[in-house]
Structure 1
Amino acid sequence: MRSMHSMRIASFRVQNYKCFVDTGEIKLTPGFNVFIGRNDAGKSALMEALSLRHTHNPHRSLETVRTPTSEPPSSAPTSVAYDLSPEELRQHLTALASFFLPTGPNASASVFATFRSLLETGDRFNADWANGVVVKADLAGLGGLRRDANRYASVLNLAHPSDVQLALQNEITGSYSSYGVVLANWLRDKAYAFRAERLGLGRCAAGPDKVLSPNAQNLAAVLNVLSSSNPARYKRLVEHVRIVFPHISGITSVIVEGSSVEARVWSIPLESERSDLSVPLNQSGTGIGQVLAILYVVVTSDLPSVILIDEPQSFLHPGAVRKLLEILRSYSQHQYIITTHSPTLITLTENDQLFAVRRQEGTNVSTVALIDPNRQDDLRMSLADVGVRLGDVFGADAILWVEGKTEETCFPELLRQLTKTPLHGVQILGVDSTDELGAKNAQRVFEIYSRLAGTASLLPPAVAFILDKEQRSETEIANIERMGRGMVRWLPFRMYENYLLQSACIANLLNAEDASSGKAVSSEDVQAWMERHGGEKKYFAPREPTAYSDADWPQHVHGAKLLHDLFNEFTDARVSYDKVKHGVLLTRQLLPNPSGALSELCKILDELIRGAPSYTE
């Protein structure tokens, strides 16, 4: 049995709920799971079903209600599979004085022994819900054991409430809630669902709890406790809030009349000591309360949680959404499930997944499908569904313009992994990736940018334009620098591909992309090929060739052409070098052990991002 480090939803399936007949099994990743679709595609219904608190609302369509007098099926099952670590199982059992294990005749000892072994390794836990009630729930490792209905082994926790020390008691029969039902309800309460609605989170009864309730109604109380019991963590929480909402100077939670506590928002300096000018959270924007609750969970949860966020752009400005997601990425122990119709969220990393939610034309039926990042047609169709265009960058605080799609995809990953630089609202955009710009050359980009930036448009300011000098004459370079008005930065190397010319990484990628050939390529093979061909004139025109052995060879060679030829020769043209796809894969291979040149490039990017207008640490 495998050991797992954190609780997460491994998969789910929704049947007979609102616009869904049957989603089929939807497998989730531990990181970000983003569901995109048009309005009314069924994204919110999906989130409601996953919260496991929805009321009965069966699917109605020609498939399920064939005549006007027919009734739809009464059951609306939602199945959820969790991966649980030993830590989560122990945390749950610590709070239980006793529980009941389903068993068979004279099987209690073996069931109990298996259960205890699963506590040491962690296990998959499957829970089936129908109309808000658990109908079946069990650890996968117990599934093969014979057990009868209404027959249980009683188990005591002798170390409750501080630890877990289990003791098998007698076998009993009757109607009891099994351990699985109790565990399923506990897991439901560890998932937080945030929707676009005013929740009235600003005032509640005071209490000692440190854990936010699933509906976040005790937010003011837990803020009050955190501020006094863990000032450092509270300070970090407020700092995160200020990144999303720069106008906020502080958050306080104070005792008011009776035994109530109220959260208040400060927009004036805390040093003013004018608490009378702070504003109750209930009178502030809807988004502030939602963000406070979301960040409270991710900052204070000692064990992983599942965070569900429905249409964050409906209660946050696009720029604030980006900043919030950047913060959430730094708390990678949690699992995030997000729905959106806004393409501003569609910036995924290697560990994220993107799903398309679509309403079938002319029906009441919606479907959910995983978008394979390698299937470009599928991705383009999904992005077209939500209307990706140049206007989608307007919510950014600033834009770092880069040469093309490869840099647009790779640079954020370099910043996240190597310099740990949060983007905080800075959008990295390739000048060749935006049809509206018509950016076939940098001069056209500057002409359009200069015209738009000088008007009352919403186009955010540019941090800089990072371009390469490939095939640009000295006259063209001078013109670009003049039009860029000091904002142009040139890559130290001829192009980004030059940073990727590491023989071991290239060999690994060739073997993965051309696995069917049955012939392994070694790092030495790639090295020898580059030594033989790397100095050829075609890789340096119009300048004079440089020998592969020269120290400045990586700076001047045409890296993209070289990789194109190298791929063709080693794979007999079965695999063509794809600048974006293979550029990303090579970049990821370089991250654990980056070259000095790549590290220097990261420092340049870090300085530019941190120097962006309105950037906050």
Structure 2
Amino acid sequence: MRLESLRVRNYKTVVSEAELGLDPKGSVLVGANNSGKSNLLKAISLFFKKDNDQNYYTRDKDFPFNGDSRQKTSFIATFSGDAEGDPRDQQIFHDYEKLRSYITDASQRLRGEIQLSLQVSPSEKFTYQFFPNQKQRSTTGAERTQFSRLQTSLVDQLLGSFECNYIEAQKDAFEIHERILMPHVKNRAAEILESHKSQLMNLLDEISEDMNITMETSEISNLSASIKLPPEGFSELLGNFVVEVDDASNTPLGMKGHGVQSTVLFASLPWVSKQVAQGGKTPIWLIEEPEAFMHPSLAHQSARVIDSLAELAQIVTTTHSTAFVPQAQDRVIGVKRDEGGTKIEKFRDYHSATLSIRSSLGIKFGDYFSLKKTNIFVEGITDQKYLEWVTNLLLNVESAPMEVQEAAVEVSRAQILELGGTTGLCGFMRSNYKFIKPEHAVVCILDGDDAGKKAAKDLNRYLYGSEQINFIANKDYVLVRDGFEVEGLFPDEWIIEKHEESEGWFEEYSVDATGNTVTFFKIKDSKKQSYMGHMIHRAESESSEGNYAWLDRWAPVLTVVGKSLKKKAAEL
């Protein structure tokens, strides 16, 4: 049998209703602190207790403080099984159908599914029912008694077909080993000893006989003694087994750190699960924050152990570690809490699933790229150097236009990231912008040539079409001078003069009929550094004399970028 889902109402932080649908490969509950993740694990554990004789549930502690006091805490579990194959499942389904025959208009379930409800009264009494709020076909006392007995038997069969273990975050791994692992070790050891029972019995008889002979020779005739096995069998003979861990020094588990203890604990669960399954039960592991006390490297390794455990058992975990969040979103259950209590939500992708974890840890997606609060993406290293140069220049002079200086301050605070050309920038934005946009202020600077304009158009089409994200000119991106790369931001007069001096630096070059306006040009890659050095030297010379006319084309780019970064940063 398998537990497919559990609906919870009026339990701890769950007020209205929360339904957990469990994935066959293991389910992971993800959410902020105090959202109710652990309470959902405890709800599953409570469902399998069968009665409340050990005060697993107390009304004062477990009923929601803002719940309707007239209501009961209630759960509805859906189970599935192999009604045609497994003999134990067959018996459960046979009895379930027999119980159904007593009910008028029993709702039809999918073949191979069973629903069982649990209600906990204000007096803390547990009541399990297969067909709650539905009338029986007959009202005779004998048939009501038969129905009640069959229902009680079926509850015992169904719940007894599971072994549910809850491992808390603040766990004592050594104590859990004693509680979970050692009983199974002793049972298996006892099975091995059983094959040597005759030899052991002969030994005990021999010792008993010797004792009795000694008493007889001492004229103690009214006494005799015998040594016997305990009624519980060989397992009671066995003392404590010791788990030792060899990690350069061989020491008992209890002497290791909590992280190592937890790792060894998780490594024992597959073997324990096999023993539980061999005993005819389905193991369920409810593991709260398995990463507790672990170094991140151990957490990743332990996550693989827990994933492999899903082949042998049902697993539900809670976590605050991205190491334990699977890429398969069907396995991730979002848990959030609002004024109405704990609620379940689904995540669209892995990034969404881990967002609350990363936010609580202060980790952003952009941290993987060392992004700052504000960032400028450029096509290449030349663009980055020009931008850093002009910004530093404007920060160190007093007579530049105020608006441009203010923009330079904003640009200087930003991280400038070059992305290996137009293709690299486009690929990076396609893959990462939807994740970076909510966390960081970003503006792209694109060349105004055909490649830059095509990149802006393609990104706008892709981001809006795939992610419904607008990519807007002079907000999300800035195109430099129309038809030119960044080198075209300097005055035409300077470019013309440089062409006259060093024609060999130019791969392409053209002017209009007046000869005073450059219509297009392209610097050879091998000469870009030389061109940059020449233009920077000339701009710095002009600036030292208080002449900033050369900024005419730079100013709009800097101003738009600076204002956009400032506005975006304020909106984050």
Classify the TM-score, shorter chain.
0.3 to 0.5
The structure with the largest alpha-carbon Rg is 2
TM-score after normalising by structure 1: 0.44
With normalisation by structure 2, the TM-score equals 0.47
**Greater share of residues in helix:** 2
